[in-house]
Structure 1
Amino acid sequence: TKALLDLMQQDGVTVSRAKTHQNKAFLAESFMQAMMDIYEGTSVGRQELEGEILLQDDNALFTHALFEANRLAKAPPLDKIIVAIDPPASMGVRADACGLIVVGRLRSGGTDMAYVLHDGTVQGLGPEGWAGRAISLWEAWDADYLLAEINQGGEMVKSVLMAVGAQAVVKTVYASKSKRARAEPVAALYQQGKVKHVGTFGPLEDELCNLSEISRSRKSPDRADALIWAITELLLKPRPHPRVRTLG
């Protein structure tokens, strides 16, 4: 961004700006609606819809002020609860933690809201240990199912969970996009007020803030990964992709 801003200040450089809406005639109506649903009313929308260049402070996906604006003392009655799991690749005190985040959903009047309920992340446990913690959370929160990322461990992750909790319902997901690409639509939901934190989750909120390109953490953001999977599962539906329209 800095290089682009410097270029814009040079003599002989002309800057033109255009909003997505100005190109509406050449875009599919479903694509336009999807873009508005995702980005309208968010800081990322200023870039994606309004053609602005965001300064560094505005480019952070998550901020503590954002969490404060979406904090509640108590959750309403929920129609769905899941436990999201980001398993570690190894075990021991120096290994990554196992992200365990409990999130609920309320669907009302055509609008879905997510509520972050609990951070049960653990570190240093072997597969049976963290799987046992996940099953305990599933039982304690009367969750609908467990949602586990299988990039680390593959189908072994599901097998361990099923071995520890034979009655558990386990759904798996695989990450094919970068962490930032998966986090961006989730951050937009926070900015739209569609994700609430029921209580304070310091380590989780710190990890989310450190996902930004200007403040990266060297430690794997296990809590943040688990939360992003949970919100994606509960609130983000498949959206239409832009298609080329042939004129003439």
Structure 2
Amino acid sequence: MRENDANLSAVARAELEEEYAGTRLGRQELSGELLEDVEGALWKAWMLEVEGFRFRPEHLPDLQRVVVAVDPATKSHEDADRTAFTVAGRGYPVETMYGDDRPRGYLLHCEQERFTPTQSMKRAAELYHEHRADCVVIEANNGGDYLPALLEQVDPTVNWRIVHAPRGKRARAAPAAQLYEQARVSHVGSARLFAELEEQMTTFVGQGETEDSPDLLDSAVWDLFLDPLIPPPRGGDDQRLSRCR
């Protein structure tokens, strides 16, 4: 785009910069970088570029379930990992393609920051109410079993569910990557909101100790309703996530 500046209006340039500057797609489309897929990465660039992947909030269907997923850091000093949050929903698209009537996942929000445990639970509660979520899902592999009790102190109205990871990061991420490969997940809103998550997706290969922990990706794969092993809603009255406590 930048080589074609002379042929673009100022308004068009501003809109493109606002939407894509600082994102992986922006590096390709705005700056002309040739971005090759990372060998072994579960997510490929094309998965984030298929038709319908970028979704506008006003076009969202009614969502049956919305979940806030939290990948908590065990420490909060300046060099510690960041606590990551993702918000995603499950629903049926208004229009189906090729007779595919399976539910789709819609990623609504993601962020990460260094928080104390109390701050992280306060933020989880804020996102829960902001997105009118059904449940907060908290990974508790690293001694975080006390976090639900802390969440109840912060806000006793929040439904929560605690999960433990019996498998490695790559094994946990693979089912979510498969849904992206099937074009059954959309990112809702500006590409800039998801820039860091999408960078983690397209570069994570699961090399264990030698690879940085992809905190946003870790939280995203805990959005339970995206798990392809979970059956579709039964008669429109799916109560599985109502048993959060």
* Bin of the TM-score, shorter chain as denominator length: 0.5 to 0.7
**Partners in 1 of 2:146 and 2:72 — Cα distance?**
11
**Partners in 1 of 2:151 and 2:203 — Cα distance?**
30
Q: Which residue of 2 aligns with 1:51?
A: none
Q: Which residue of 2 aligns with 1:97?
A: 82
* 1:150 Cα deviation after fit: 0.6
**Partners in 2 of 1:92 and 1:224 — Cα distance?**
21
Matched, 1:114 2:101: no
* 1:105 Cα deviation after fit: 0.5
Which residue identity lines up with residue 55 of structure 2 in the other structure? Answer: L
Deviations 1:6-54 (A, max 9, x none): xxxxxxxxxxxxxxxxxxxxxxxxxxxxxxxxxxxxxxxxxxxxxxxxx
Correspondent of 2:43 among 62, 75, 79:
62
**Partners in 2 of 1:153 and 1:161 — Cα distance?**
15
Structure 2 residue ranges without an equivalent (≥5): 1-36, 94-99, 232-245
Contact 2:74 2:144 in 1 (8 A): no
Structure 1 residue ranges without an equivalent (≥5): 1-55, 240-248
Matched, 1:219 2:212: yes
Deviations 1:189-232 (A, max 9, x none): 10101111113200111111222258x973221100000111x4
Identity score, percent = 30
* 1:142 Cα deviation after fit: 0.5
Matched positions, count = 182
Q: Which residue of 1 aligns with 2:227?
A: 235
Query: Which TM-score applies when normalising by structure 1?
Result: 0.67
Contact 2:65 2:225 in 1 (8 A): no
Correspondent of 2:176 among 181, 186, 189:
186
Contact 1:64 1:205 in 2 (8 A): no
* 1:141 Cα deviation after fit: 0.5
* 1:111 Cα deviation after fit: 1.2
Deviations 1:80-138 (A, max 9, x none): 11100000011122111111000000046851110000013222x11111111110000
